[in-house]
Structure 1
Amino acid sequence: MSHTDGPETSHPRIEAALGVVEREIECVEAELTAFRRFRSRVSSVEPASPGSGGVDATGGGASSMLATATKPDAGLRAVRSAYRETVMDVPHFEAEYDDTLEANVAVEFGADLAAQIVDGTRLTPQVYEAVLAASERAQDERETMLPVLERERDSLATVRERLDDCERRAVVLGENARRTVDSTRLSAIDERLADAEAECEAVAARRQRRLHDRSAAALSGIDETSLTQYLYADEAVTCPALADVVACLETVRRQRRYCLK
């Protein structure tokens, strides 16, 4: 922002970051709902009985037994359909993942369980229980992630609000400084600019503490620094709030330099 700009402020990196976080919250909420629906549907599926699948009860001989062995049972088909119609049906699935059933299940549930779901022929009690447990873990991961993302969103919004205040004051004070040549008046303006600079530096310090808050990471199981890399790796900067703090500080210091000429 140049000294000719009015008091309107802009923090483009924070605005972009807020958009990223809001989209991620929407995705995680959609996936959480999808996994809840998936687990609910699977809960109503009956697994194969422990002794089924190895006896030819149709009288069709070896060929009938082979066909039965290679065709997935109703329970396994129901699990596959439920996964496709819930987890793979979230609005952002194609844009974010665009995976096959096996690839996505492997990411969420592990490669071994994915192989049993996609390539298996029977929904055994063991596979059934493993699917329920894995879907619950997937829910838990998203339930843990949501408040972390919400805290990041709130932190960004708070930084933006504080920077808006600092920058508006700096611009107005800078305009006042350019209307006077009185040294006493300029000194008083500079003192107020120094307060704005100190507040801006305090915003940066609070943001830094949050990024390195080990207690928060231990509580959530998610390291905040890793979170910023995950969220902002494709953005212009990976520390958007701090980048806009630096820009705000430069605005304040530019006004101070004029006062101290």
Structure 2
Amino acid sequence: MGVTTTPGANVEEVVDTTQRVVQHEITRTEREKRAFADFASRIRQIDTRTDRFTAGSDDVASRPVLTAGTDPCSGVGGTESGISEQIREAFRSTVMSLPFFEDEYAESYREALRREFGPEFETVLFNDECFTPSAKDALLDRIDRAKQQRNSLLRSCERELESVTDVGAELESIAEEVRFYEDAHFAEQDFGTLDAYRSHLLRLEDACEDLTADRQATIRHHRTTHGLTQDCCDLPEYLYDDLEHNYPILYLCSDVLGRVRELHDRTETAIVATFE
């Protein structure tokens, strides 16, 4: 990541944008979690009594029509009615009805089911005969897993927001001091003033390095929590893909640190000039 020189990045603007991105993801994920909870509630209400389509049932009209010789759970030859329609309507009116679903996923009903629950559920969810009580329980388990994944993402995003807020506030404070030194006329200062400048700039440099280490530790924690390998996209890359920098706070750390080091070099040059 390259180091910029003065005037440098607008620290407050980058921090604010980063916070808004994380907060947006938290809000979106909370809504997805609630949608899956609503979907689970709708699934629990579906009748999967084992005698629903048994021989002799009075509910003859509701039985699925199968072609002779067709395996009822093959996914071929069955009609999509009754239970499968209830599942479709439940998913569409909860998860797929989220206002950002189309822009975020741009998926059909079948594609969304496959992504969330795996291809093995396609047959079960498109054929009434296959949606047995055990299949219903398995689907509810998958829905619970989807909710837990959102829970995990929420925890990571909340930790990320806390880190961005804390590190961002420190960087904003340092950047304000940096602007003071950037406006100073070093050539007009005496040795004592320049030496004080140098000492304080060294402390600011240490502070920037500490903030960089804090951010890197947070990013490593994200990777460890989610069991990500080095070739996997990590949380900042996922969250900040649309921003100019995938690691905006690390970018700021580098930018401000570069400005502090530039000022330190100017101070050293000015100190030498006092002896000439």
Normalised by the length of structure 1, the TM-score is 0.83
Match of 1:80 in 2: 88
Tell me by how many angstroms 1:163 deviates.
0.7
Number of residue pairs matched? 252
User: Cα 1:112–1:160, aligned 2, differ >3 Å: closer, same or farther?
Assistant: same
Q: Deviations over 1:222-250 (max 9, x none)?
A: 54972223223443322221111111112
* 1:149-186 Cα shifts (integer Å, max 9, x gaps): 11111111112111111111122134345483312211
1:154 aligns with 2:155: no
- Whether 2:207 is the aligned partner of 1:206: answer no
Amino acid at match of 2:237: Q
1:120 to 115, 120, 127: 127
Contact 2:110 2:122 in 1 (8 A): yes
| Identical residues among aligned pairs (%) | 24
| C-alpha distance in 1 between matches for 2:195 and 2:182 | 12
Question: 2:43 & 2:237 partners in 1: Cα distance?
Answer: 35
Pairwise CA distance, 1:11: 5.0
Gaps in structure 1 of 5+ consecutive residues: none
Alpha carbons of 1:101 and 1:162: their partners in 2 closer, same or farther (altered >3 Å)? same
Whichever structure has more helix as a proportion of its residues is 1
Q: Give, in angstroms, the shift of residue 52 of structure 1.
A: 3.9
Question: Which residue number in structure 1 is paired with residue 174 of structure 2?
Answer: 166
| SS class of match (1:168) | helix
The 3-state SS of whatever aligns with 2:136 is helix
* 1:191 to partner: Cα distance: 1.0
- 2:234 is paired with a residue whose SS is helix
Q: Distance in 1 between matches of 2:104 and 2:198?
A: 50
Question: Deviations along 1:6-41, whole A, 9 cap, x unmatched?
Answer: xx9525544443333222212211100100111111
Match of 1:50 in 2: 50
Q: RMSD between aligned alpha carbons?
A: 3.1
State the distance in 2 between where 1:148 and 1:196 align. 29
Taking a change above 3 Å as real, the CA distance of residues 241 and 132 of structure 1, as seen in their structure-2 partners, is same
1:139 to 102, 124, 147: 147
Q: Which residue of 2 aligns with 1:37?
A: 38
1:3 to partner: Cα distance:
6.1
Take 1:4 and 1:150, find their aligned partners in 2: how far apart are those partners? 32
Q: For the structure 1 residues 256 and 177, does the alpha-carbon distance in structure 2 shift closer, same or farther, using more than 3 Å as the test?
A: farther
1:2/1:241 Cα in 2 relative to 1: closer, same or farther (>3 Å)? closer
Q: TM-score, normalised by structure 2?
A: 0.79
Match of residue 22 from structure 2: 21
- Taking the aligned partners of 1:2 and 1:227, their CA distance within structure 2 comes to 28
Q: Which runs of 5+ in 2 are unaligned?
A: 68-76, 270-276
Helix, strand or coil for the counterpart of 1:90? coil
The offset of 1:198, in angstroms, is: 1.1
Q: Deviations over 1:45-80 (max 9, x none)?
A: 211x324436476799xxx9549x833443332121
Residue from 237, 243, 247 that aligns with 2:251? 243
Deviation of 1:132 (Å): 1.2
